[in-house]
Structure 1
């Protein structure tokens, strides 16, 4: 037989094997008899994402279609067979009871080539555990108390700017203004920099913050590839962060750290804590290795604190105002509580008095239920796991797991009239009766949101100062029902939130 024929035969055999393996991967759940949708050959169950469907539409439609069929449905995270959780009991197993088998999120990260991807949210394994231990003391209630005056100061500047907009036009697009407020708060607390985005909507920090959420280095096929073959993508030195974003934040962090160290500047903020972790001689008890943070690791943590902190809080406040504008009775009750608390404190809010805004907290909690900013929690299985009392349902080692908390929050079995805005869902009595995994805007268990306290603090302050001075109502430009942005992984309104605003 000619050499050419042998090579051709070998090539065709290899091609046939690869095609068969390719096809079998996308038949994994069907062959096991686990309910699932028919996957797209490359995008899996993510077909149409960012073009025809938003991420949240995918989670919601899958949940509604398969809930009640078992503890989870089959799903394809691009080309990887994945688990789509349908029951809160299984969510509790994964997030809390058997957390050690599900510590990783399984997102692509490549800190060696893409330094900003070395952020706590994306890290896995020992790297995540080590970084979490280092950063946890940064978010204690004591540290929040230090940052409170800074947030209040920016909050008063925010209401002044807001008032100027109301003077010019009673119809206000609140989404962008809220993002500028949280950008200034986070920029000040994370970087110690006066961002000035409230005064200048095109300030560099606001522009780069906006770009960090919308710009990516890779297109849809590239994103599908790194999520399907993360180890290969790392060997190919692939990066996710857009180059302008990386250059900006690395420059800002280097300049900030150098200035503070050279001038012995301390501001009791997040950046101070990171600099301490860079300079203190810390040693791990297990290996004795030096674990001081590098400048790249500082940049990655500051970046995620900034990017996650300003968007999630501003989005929550925007949706809260959107619902309050449609429910004047709730808004009036909330304003009454805020004014009463302020009157007890010489017209101002203190760190202690904010904790007494019980109804405000209920409004925020209900907003996060209806508009769960991060509507899915991602995990990866570290060892084969048989779902208790369901031997047919096995989560294999290395499988991605999706917990669709946003969809669960709108399940009538968990919340009566789930599409209706009702802060009484979070009255102290009802919260006591509810399992913690039935409300997951911040996750749960050891890998819950580390910045939850800070996010809640700036959201409370922002809403309290606004409702104290302004009345919000709907107008002809208010989009009802809400239309969501198809390109964002997080929940976001498509065209902004327009409301009628009057001074109280």
Structure 2
């Protein structure tokens, strides 16, 4: 009994303290008179996540409920009191004008136990500024032109894959998987200098780890890591499995050793990083591993998702598909049938189609920032206190009928030059905005364009009995992903 006393009372004390701390955090917005839904003790305002709803649906419903409670509303990610920003002018201030007070994303990274998690997207403060400055020159339009032929080569193999399917009697394809294999091969060759050939063999190790990056993560774990990154580091939590880190680390080290020993240079991202490493030791090997890894993560599934959803919409809208194909044929004819960088950037209607796809199917549901100092909302008495995370619900904005009338309709004309001018610049933010926008946006758009051009010039796509309408998205996936794939009918165009 004496022993139990020494165990029982401290346990009760700790449990009571934790309960008090959680209750205090969960009353944060109530104490400040900010509108919000009453939070669940464990899930906060995330009840139903992974079951009935994915992140997109959850935040979209919350946004629509409170969209007129501007400039922001309270939201609890578990026990973390966050400010969901509803006012577009305030979003502009946070991302651009007052960026100095919101330059950190407050994402989880653990360099000690999980070094591949310490990449540009996650790191904060001075380290982010230094790394961004180092890496920015590798993502310029000039460097994209440098890598363009490498991606076109993969595009040619992509076209051949469809040709083989059709010639062997195939008519129904699962387009999402094929798009993921295309982006896997693009990122494999551009980021790691490896010919993955997942278009020929979908079970190659590189593709397997690409799938594992997302299937091994859960929305609830992601939420905990985002909400309590310091606690997660103290607990020595990892974002990615050890075998995954070992796999990508070995690939990068072996690639660098081989290239440097044999004096090999290629038109790819890895070559640019090696140049940085050898220039005044600007990058360490571990930093190169982390940056190539996030290059893979960001370019693999997000781009393949956009490609898959784009093909889904083009299959449902044959007239739009024909107009895209006419533009492709016209541009290629202008350059004697060659898909070069100039032809690629001249396809403005294709660009509108891609942007409308990204609006309707926003892969990442929100952006996050954290206040470094108390922030007084312009033209109000409201304050977002130091250390509070802000959520910018980009998917909800993209589907707000006040910003995009009839948001369920697929309408590329929304992104004509005239329509863009009419709209608030913060209404469409798939790549973020301001100094901490997505550094790889040029590469992402280039990869998506080449993927679409490579197949649309020779093949026509339409719906079939297996096409799911509307698409059911996976509630367990943090990024937008179709639960049952995207099946389409494919036919070769007879010239």
Fold in common (TM above 0.5)? yes
Identify the residue that residue 468 of structure 1 maps to in structure 2: 457
What TM-score do the two structures reach when normalised by structure 1?
A: 0.93
- Alignment partner of 2:435: what SS? helix
- Alignment partner of 1:316: what SS? helix
Identify the residue that residue 197 of structure 2 maps to in structure 1: 196
Correspondences of 1:36-115 after superposition (within 5 Å): 36-115=36-115
User: Is the contact made by 1:385 and 1:394 (CA closer than 8 Å) also made in structure 2?
Assistant: yes
Supply the distance in 2 between the matched residues of 1:225 and 1:179 (Cα, whole angstroms).
28
Supply the distance in 1 between the matched residues of 2:115 and 2:7 (Cα, whole angstroms).
43
Identify the residue that residue 150 of structure 2 maps to in structure 1: 150
Once the two structures are TM-superposed, the CA of residue 43 in structure 1 deviates from its matched residue by 2.2
Supply the distance in 2 between the matched residues of 1:478 and 1:94 (Cα, whole angstroms).
41
Once the two structures are TM-superposed, the CA of residue 15 in structure 1 deviates from its matched residue by 5.4
Question: Which shifted more, 266-275 or 178-187?
Answer: 266-275
- Alignment partner of 1:75: what SS? strand
- Structure 1 pair 7/363, CA: closer, same or farther in 2 (3 Å)? closer
Identify the residue that residue 261 of structure 1 maps to in structure 2: 260
Alignment partner of 1:352 out of 322, 338, 342: 342
- Structure 1 pair 6/293, CA: closer, same or farther in 2 (3 Å)? closer
- Alignment partner of 1:438: what SS? coil
User: Is the contact made by 2:190 and 2:268 (CA closer than 8 Å) also made in structure 1?
Assistant: yes
User: Is the contact made by 2:219 and 2:476 (CA closer than 8 Å) also made in structure 1?
Assistant: no
User: Is the contact made by 2:473 and 2:483 (CA closer than 8 Å) also made in structure 1?
Assistant: yes
Supply the distance in 2 between the matched residues of 1:226 and 1:497 (Cα, whole angstroms).
31
User: Is the contact made by 2:219 and 2:477 (CA closer than 8 Å) also made in structure 1?
Assistant: no
Identify the residue that residue 286 of structure 1 maps to in structure 2: none
Identify the residue that residue 447 of structure 2 maps to in structure 1: 458
Question: Which shifted more, 36-45 or 65-74?
Answer: 36-45
Identify the residue that residue 322 of structure 1 maps to in structure 2: 312
Once the two structures are TM-superposed, the CA of residue 10 in structure 1 deviates from its matched residue by 8.4
Alignment partner of 1:492 out of 460, 481, 492: 481
Supply the distance in 1 between the matched residues of 2:221 and 2:179 (Cα, whole angstroms).
33
Supply the distance in 2 between the matched residues of 1:232 and 1:20 (Cα, whole angstroms).
17
Identify the residue that residue 215 of structure 2 maps to in structure 1: 214
User: Is the contact made by 1:78 and 1:227 (CA closer than 8 Å) also made in structure 2?
Assistant: no
- Structure 1 pair 96/224, CA: closer, same or farther in 2 (3 Å)? closer
Once the two structures are TM-superposed, the CA of residue 119 in structure 1 deviates from its matched residue by 1.0
Correspondences of 1:161-240 after superposition (within 5 Å): 161-167=161-167, 168-216=169-217, 223=222, 225-240=224-239
Supply the distance in 2 between the matched residues of 1:225 and 1:340 (Cα, whole angstroms).
50
User: Is the contact made by 1:42 and 1:224 (CA closer than 8 Å) also made in structure 2?
Assistant: no
Question: Which shifted more, 425-434 or 470-479?
Answer: 425-434
- Root-mean-square deviation (Å): 2.1
Supply the distance in 1 between the matched residues of 2:362 and 2:305 (Cα, whole angstroms).
10
Supply the distance in 1 between the matched residues of 2:200 and 2:10 (Cα, whole angstroms).
67
User: Is the contact made by 1:179 and 1:311 (CA closer than 8 Å) also made in structure 2?
Assistant: yes
Supply the distance in 2 between the matched residues of 1:352 and 1:42 (Cα, whole angstroms).
53
CA offsets per residue over residues 444-503 of structure 1, 9 Å max, x none? 111111011111111111111211111111111111112111122211111111111111
Supply the distance in 2 between the matched residues of 1:220 and 1:178 (Cα, whole angstroms).
24
Supply the distance in 2 between the matched residues of 1:203 and 1:455 (Cα, whole angstroms).
23
- Structure 1 pair 140/363, CA: closer, same or farther in 2 (3 Å)? same
- Whether 1:366 and 2:356 are equivalent positions in the alignment is yes
- Structure 1 pair 263/9, CA: closer, same or farther in 2 (3 Å)? closer
Correspondences of 1:117-128 after superposition (within 5 Å): 117-128=117-128
Name the count of aligned residue pairs: 491
- Whether 1:20 and 2:20 are equivalent positions in the alignment is yes
CA offsets per residue over residues 178-231 of structure 1, 9 Å max, x none? 111111111101111101101100011111111112214xx7775554444322
User: Is the contact made by 1:320 and 1:364 (CA closer than 8 Å) also made in structure 2?
Assistant: yes
- Alignment partner of 2:368: what SS? strand
CA offsets per residue over residues 372-424 of structure 1, 9 Å max, x none? 11221111111111211231x32111111111111101111111211100010
Identify the residue that residue 270 of structure 2 maps to in structure 1: 271
Supply the distance in 1 between the matched residues of 2:413 and 2:219 (Cα, whole angstroms).
41
Q: Specify every segment of 5 or more residues in structure 2 that has no aligned partner in the other structure, as ranges.
A: none
Supply the distance in 1 between the matched residues of 2:341 and 2:222 (Cα, whole angstroms).
43
Once the two structures are TM-superposed, the CA of residue 5 in structure 1 deviates from its matched residue by 9.5
- Alignment partner of 1:297: what SS? helix
Supply the distance in 2 between the matched residues of 1:361 and 1:430 (Cα, whole angstroms).
14
Identify the residue that residue 445 of structure 1 maps to in structure 2: 434
Alignment partner of 2:289 out of 286, 299, 321: 299
Question: Which shifted more, 427-436 or 155-164?
Answer: 427-436
Once the two structures are TM-superposed, the CA of residue 110 in structure 1 deviates from its matched residue by 0.8
